[in-house]
Structure 1
Amino acid sequence: MIRITFNAAAEKLIRQGLAQAAAPPRFLIVPGDGTMPAASRATPAGEGSIDPQARNHPLVVKSLELFNAEICSIIDLRPK
């Protein structure tokens, strides 16, 4: 899952952090506090924005559910 979610540089930093913490390199458990943050008002997407496609992507939707996460920003890496 790390290779799907993060680029190579981010994966390297994560693995270095796990090694320094003497954690097994294959497993990372991040306990949640069980609370949901208040829903923030999302800014409307601009014309031709990738925002709706990114928010509705199956991998993103599943990650949001699994990790009780929220999307802070979306970076459009499509060629201009």
Structure 2
Amino acid sequence: MKARVNVMLKTGVLDPQGEAVRHALGSLGFAGVESVRQGKVIELDLAETDRAAAQAAVTEMCEKLLANTVIESYSVELV
């Protein structure tokens, strides 16, 4: 089973990478971009076949390592 984890900075947390991308896009002529939030996508190949167990395992991985839950939020998608 595959899992996809999307990690983004929480609303209100400054995103200097996103701001750098927004500025660079403006420099390239893309004037309509008002804000950019940059995150990360983590894809996992799991041996687990039970969806509930896989969801629980990936959630635990996020809480312990994959996301800094103080400043980041995450979502898990089993595919």
Give the TM-score normalised by structure 1: 0.30
Give the TM-score normalised by structure 2: 0.31
Higher helix share: 1
Higher strand share: 2
